[in-house]
Structure 1
Amino acid sequence: MSHAAAPVRSRRPAGLITAVLAITGTLVALQQTLVVPLLPEVPKLLHTTETNGSWLVTATLLTSAVATPIVSRCADMFGKRKMMLISLATMIVGSLIGALGHQLWQVILGRSLQGFAAALVPVGISIMRDELPREKVGGAVALMSATLGIGAAIGLPLSGYIYAHFDWHALFWVSLVAAIVMFLAIVLVVPESAVRTHGRFDVVGALLLSSALICFLLAVSKGGDWGWGSRTTLGLFVAAVVIAAAWVPWELRTVGPMVDLRTAARPPILLTNIASVFVGLSMFVNLVSTTQLLQMPKITGYGHGLSVLDAGLCVLPAGLMMVVLSPVTATITKRWGGKYSLLLGGLVLGLSYVLRVYLTGSVFQIALGAAITSAGTAIAYAAMPSIIMANAPISETAAANGFNALLRAVGTSTSSAMVAAILSTVAINVGGIDLPRLEAFHYIYWVAAAAGLVAALVAFFIPSSRREDDPQETHSGRDVVVHGHVRDGSGRPARNAVVTLLTDSGEKVDWSRAEADGSYSLVLPGPGVYQRITNADGYHPRAELVSIDAAGEYAVELGTRFRLEGTVRLDGHPVDGALVTITTPLGEVEETGHTQADGSFSLRLDVTGRHVVSVIDPATSASSARHVVVLGAVDPLTVDLVRRPSDPAPTVDA
């Protein structure tokens, strides 16, 4: 068996890599607020309606949601640096189209292409795990996570200033120049990761997921314009559910799924993803409601009448708060673990909004409330990637973080729709114009507070992990990627087998779930002797010491399948042709068979756990049933059939 040489990790300065990736993440967040100051003027500038003009935001939202899981999955398969460059190149093209465009469809197309940059954050976090020294990963991930809030906070005053002093096309020219600079910086500074996962790209899964996301997010973002009860909105929601119902079983059966749902169903990842929806909802309220509250005219009795630029400057400290807190949040995560960091972040988010209900009397109070909310966001956002990376296979960290980012986007989209619905419903008429009442902002803050507290509650139930505070616990600086196939004694693939690798002292290194064809991939911190534990439902597990000296193919052979064997008797004599059935406690049939002339039977067990074994003799109607708990090898059963006088005698067709 030949193996390639182990890749040696780049020695580029960790601080420089972190800075480039973090600035790139900030550039991503800037795209979300790039055209916000432009929206009120779009109907006049592009000769269209206000509803059509809102597509400048909706188009970016949709492409971001679609691109994030696809680009993240491709990053794991084809190279993280390569996919970052492709995403930035797409953003460059989009910015150029927007800068040169003079018609609505051209600007919408440009904004759509800009949305592909959304995947840069989860992919960048994955690169940090692969390329930075262990002690630097926590702080770098916290900073990268904070860029989402930093960019959003900087984006409003920056775009407001540019639009106030230059032609609106300057917004796209600035985005174009920034994207080109970061493209060159990544080429020069960020190395390509050697960590890859094998397999083929799941085209069907990508199409199904993208279709479901487009239907759902389109209904959420445009439901207010079309009417929440309209046939279009309801039809899109129904289509999203139907497509998702087709996507889930496809992902469970296919080789190399777009999203590994079995891994996503692991309690730490599942609960973190659920919490991320509520964190995203709560966080986004801070962005969309704070500036609106500051811009409300004074005639409302509570507004402060600030301009877009001044309102953006007031929320700038909230964004800078996330920068300041990034090393603090990394320390919190390292000391207490990602679970408790996420719990703390959710609590701060929830309580900050309760406080904000009462902090609306002055500009300072509103800015202070926004800063406290940003502190909770910083803590929560830094915790989630740490939990994900600690519990997902190392070769799938980009895809796992991408799916988590996608769910946060679902939360932010829902938040935007909720805020718009409440502000338009709880309104007063001032000078012939409908404006939100102060109570509308109070209701929004109560909803955001509930979302933050729900996130904290969900985080409380996340199982603690030894690696949760340090996703690089065994990193030594020279990653070795190994792969292979798990097969049984007859050479058949052991589907959904789990291969776990530990050091010879028992520290967990990585794990992988085998695909339908038995293939798996693992990432090691370097050559050496490791414990390899392989387990699959229906097979005897296998544990062994293996010496791995280089990247390459390492096959695993499991033992024999579990079988349930025994003998069926009636009145002390063996029964020939009795029907033996194994079912689950819920009644699902697992295996059936008939006894031999000597009364023996042997049936395959696909899963361990509790089973019901029933036997019936068609010739006499004698029967028997019992519960059997299978956790390993089972001693042969002896089943004695029982005659029941009340049973009708069997009939035989002539």
Structure 2
Amino acid sequence: MTGQAVDVHRPSTPLATRSPTTVVAVLASGGLAASLMQTIVIPLVPEFPRLLRASPVDTSWVITATLLAAAVITPVSGRLGDLYGKRRMLVVSLVTLAAGSVISALAESVWPMVAGRVLQGCAMGVVPLGISIMRDQLPPSRVGAAMGLMSATLGVGGAIGLPLSAVVAQHTHWHVLFWGSAVLGLVCATLVRTLIPESPRAPRARFDLLGAVWLSVGLTALLLATIKGGGWGWTGVPTLALFGTAAVLLPLWARYQLRTTDPLVDLRVSARRPVLLTNLSGVLIGFAMYASSLLFPQLLQAPVETGQGLGLSMVGAGLAVAPLGVVMMLLSPFSARISDRFGARTTLLVGVAVIAVGNGMAVVLTSAVWQVVVASAIIGGGIGIAFSAMPALIMGSVPLGETASANGVNTLMRSIGTSTASAVLATVLANTATATGPSRFGFHVCFIAAAGAALLGLAVAAFIPKGTA
């Protein structure tokens, strides 16, 4: 399934009969709905043991299950979209989100809730599918900004989801969150089905079911060990067994992909220098991005009396970090202009550098709420710029029939980065905590680690060939 690289700005089909603005609005709404699922339950996490009548260990799966499902589904749904229709898979993903939301809304115990959250996580394939549809359907002048906006929904949904869900959970029954997400999923699915034309499909090929199952098992082992290793113990038997399983399965899967006729992921294409380096930088960007999502809310909500935090409520903390998402969205058109003038490689370099600066500033700018707002807004700006560049770099280097699956792999790389950040930073905070909670020193170490990851991502991105995309 190899082929020649294509110009990311050249439409492969006649323009959609709907206006470009309609196409962008509908697809971005779907991306926003999917990304909201990542943070919609965070205000409820401390209450879940009581609400679901289960232990904190069991209720932690409400978060873990969504992260695992999202990571595993993105390359699979992308490949299915390339083969059987991107719009079709987009509708399936949004309907799955709605179904998971209904199950969660009806749940009164932990394991039905986990099942619903798995289905909600499966909707994360919406973003790479939407980016690929934009590439197919929009005129050249609109592609860059549209892809940037769609990619930014990954961060925007997370940023606005925290205060939104906090307000809803505080003033209504917690099940309302899930009924609302079910309605949102169905509305977005209907809009996609009605207003978005189908994209052309890849040449006829079989879906690599064995490769999909194989990859899913390997990724689950890797990510589960990474996410749960801190609680289980990094040298504990479950953690080591899962890491060992991943270390065996994933290289064997790669060997199988290179030998099969119709691979799930064409590793020869993925090994092309622009694609490989963009994906590697995506892991590091995901690490640096997640640091702000994890650290700022804790810092803002920690009691002032402890000398560590700023004493805000969950709603107040969510509003304080909301500018991160707003800035991401506002900078999408700006990042597209950088790419048009200087190339997507330069845009990625600028974005990652801004992320590094923002995390570096957070080391010293965390003693007042306004300082956190400034630091988070800078980080959000960097994320928005970087996220808009990665799809352009990927689609400028892969065959037309693999754009959705290639973007799915890139989203997976970012998920690996965020999962790693979750484990590493939580371990740092736990090991540096005082009797009253996380320490200032621990926060500083975490922000330095995030800045270091961004700088390493900058170094990797610098080796992307000039003139790419």
How do 1:399-414 and structure 2 match up within 5 A? Answer: 399-414=405-420
Q: Does 1:292 align with 2:298?
A: yes
Provide the residue aligned with 1:131 in structure 2. Answer: 137
Q: Please report how far the alpha carbon of residue 260 of structure 1 lies from its aligned counterpart in structure 2 after TM superposition.
A: 0.4
1:301 alignment partner, one of 286, 302, 307: 307
How do 1:194-593 and structure 2 match up within 5 A? Answer: 194-430=200-436, 435-465=437-467, 468=469
Query: Could you give the per-residue CA deviations for residues 436-489 of structure 1, whole angstroms, max 9, x where no partner exists?
Result: 1001110000000011011111111001236x0xxxxxxxxxxxxxxxxxxxxx
Q: Runs ≥4 in structure 1, deviation > 3 angstroms?
A: 6-9
Provide the residue aligned with 1:484 in structure 2. Answer: none
Contact 1:340 1:459 in 2 (8 A): no
Provide the residue aligned with 2:72 in structure 1. Answer: 66
Contact 1:300 1:437 in 2 (8 A): no
Q: Please report how far the alpha carbon of residue 203 of structure 1 lies from its aligned counterpart in structure 2 after TM superposition.
A: 1.3
1: CA distance, partners of 2:233 / 2:440: 24
1: CA distance, partners of 2:428 / 2:57: 18
Contact 1:56 1:108 in 2 (8 A): yes
Considering fraction of residues, name the structure with more helix.
2
Contact 1:64 1:116 in 2 (8 A): yes
Provide the residue aligned with 1:540 in structure 2. Answer: none
Distance 1:267 1:164, change over 3 A: same
1: CA distance, partners of 2:131 / 2:467: 20
Provide the residue aligned with 2:6 in structure 1. Answer: none
1: CA distance, partners of 2:95 / 2:184: 12
2: CA distance, partners of 1:458 / 1:8: 36
Query: Could you give the per-residue CA deviations for residues 388-436 of structure 1, whole angstroms, max 9, x where no partner exists?
Result: 0000111110010000000100001111111211111101113xxxx01
Q: Does 1:186 align with 2:192?
A: yes
Contact 2:75 2:412 in 1 (8 A): yes
Q: Could you say which structure has the greater relative contact order, defined with CA pairs below 8 angstroms and 6 or more residues apart?
A: 2
Q: Please report how far the alpha carbon of residue 302 of structure 1 lies from its aligned counterpart in structure 2 after TM superposition.
A: 3.1
1: CA distance, partners of 2:95 / 2:454: 36
Provide the residue aligned with 1:92 in structure 2. Answer: 98
Q: Please report how far the alpha carbon of residue 91 of structure 1 lies from its aligned counterpart in structure 2 after TM superposition.
A: 1.1
Contact 1:272 1:462 in 2 (8 A): yes
Extract unaligned runs of 5+ from structure 2: 1-11
2:161 alignment partner, one of 134, 155, 170: 155
Code of the residue aligned with 1:179 in structure 2: it is: G
2:109 alignment partner, one of 100, 103, 106: 103
Q: What TM-score does the superposition give when structure 2 sets the normalisation length?
A: 0.96
Q: Please report how far the alpha carbon of residue 10 of structure 1 lies from its aligned counterpart in structure 2 after TM superposition.
A: 2.7
Contact 1:68 1:406 in 2 (8 A): yes
Contact 2:225 2:242 in 1 (8 A): yes
Contact 1:51 1:225 in 2 (8 A): no
Code of the residue aligned with 1:222 in structure 2: it is: K
Provide the residue aligned with 1:499 in structure 2. Answer: none
1: CA distance, partners of 2:250 / 2:383: 29
2: CA distance, partners of 1:10 / 1:25: 19
Contact 2:281 2:458 in 1 (8 A): yes
Q: Does 1:31 align with 2:74?
A: no
Contact 2:365 2:372 in 1 (8 A): yes
2: CA distance, partners of 1:24 / 1:421: 34
Contact 2:320 2:373 in 1 (8 A): yes
Q: Please report how far the alpha carbon of residue 197 of structure 1 lies from its aligned counterpart in structure 2 after TM superposition.
A: 3.4
Q: Please report how far the alpha carbon of residue 9 of structure 1 lies from its aligned counterpart in structure 2 after TM superposition.
A: 4.0
Secondary structure of the residue aligned to 1:428 is coil
Contact 1:130 1:195 in 2 (8 A): no
Provide the residue aligned with 2:16 in structure 1. Answer: 10
The more displaced of 120-129 and 98-107 is 98-107
Q: Percent identity, please.
A: 45
Provide the residue aligned with 2:3 in structure 1. Answer: none
Code of the residue aligned with 2:461 in structure 1: it is: A
2: CA distance, partners of 1:347 / 1:251: 35
Code of the residue aligned with 1:299 in structure 2: it is: E
2: CA distance, partners of 1:333 / 1:292: 35
Contact 1:356 1:366 in 2 (8 A): yes
2: CA distance, partners of 1:223 / 1:422: 13
Secondary structure of the residue aligned to 2:254 is helix
The more displaced of 86-95 and 381-390 is 86-95
Q: Does 1:119 align with 2:121?
A: no
Q: What TM-score does the superposition give when structure 1 sets the normalisation length?
A: 0.69
Provide the residue aligned with 1:563 in structure 2. Answer: none
Distance 1:174 1:458, change over 3 A: same
Query: How many matched pairs?
Result: 458
Code of the residue aligned with 1:319 in structure 2: it is: G
Query: Could you give the per-residue CA deviations for residues 526-579 of structure 1, whole angstroms, max 9, x where no partner exists?
Result: xxxxxxxxxxxxxxxxxxxxxxxxxxxxxxxxxxxxxxxxxxxxxxxxxxxxxx
Extract unaligned runs of 5+ from structure 1: 1-5, 469-654
Contact 1:27 1:151 in 2 (8 A): yes
Provide the residue aligned with 1:490 in structure 2. Answer: none
2: CA distance, partners of 1:302 / 1:399: 44
The more displaced of 299-308 and 111-120 is 299-308
1: CA distance, partners of 2:460 / 2:349: 8
Q: Please report how far the alpha carbon of residue 259 of structure 1 lies from its aligned counterpart in structure 2 after TM superposition.
A: 0.5
Code of the residue aligned with 2:205 in structure 1: it is: G
Q: Please report how far the alpha carbon of residue 7 of structure 1 lies from its aligned counterpart in structure 2 after TM superposition.
A: 6.9
2: CA distance, partners of 1:7 / 1:299: 61
Secondary structure of the residue aligned to 2:364 is coil
1: CA distance, partners of 2:203 / 2:85: 9
Contact 1:278 1:454 in 2 (8 A): yes
2: CA distance, partners of 1:231 / 1:295: 35
Provide the residue aligned with 2:56 in structure 1. Answer: 50
Contact 2:13 2:199 in 1 (8 A): no
2: CA distance, partners of 1:284 / 1:7: 37
Q: Please report how far the alpha carbon of residue 196 of structure 1 lies from its aligned counterpart in structure 2 after TM superposition.
A: 2.4
2: CA distance, partners of 1:67 / 1:154: 24
Considering fraction of residues, name the structure with more strand.
1
Q: Please report how far the alpha carbon of residue 174 of structure 1 lies from its aligned counterpart in structure 2 after TM superposition.
A: 0.8
The alignment yields a C-alpha RMSD, in angstroms, of 1.1
Provide the residue aligned with 2:8 in structure 1. Answer: none
Contact 1:76 1:195 in 2 (8 A): yes
Structure with the greater alpha carbon radius of gyration: 1
Secondary structure of the residue aligned to 1:167 is coil
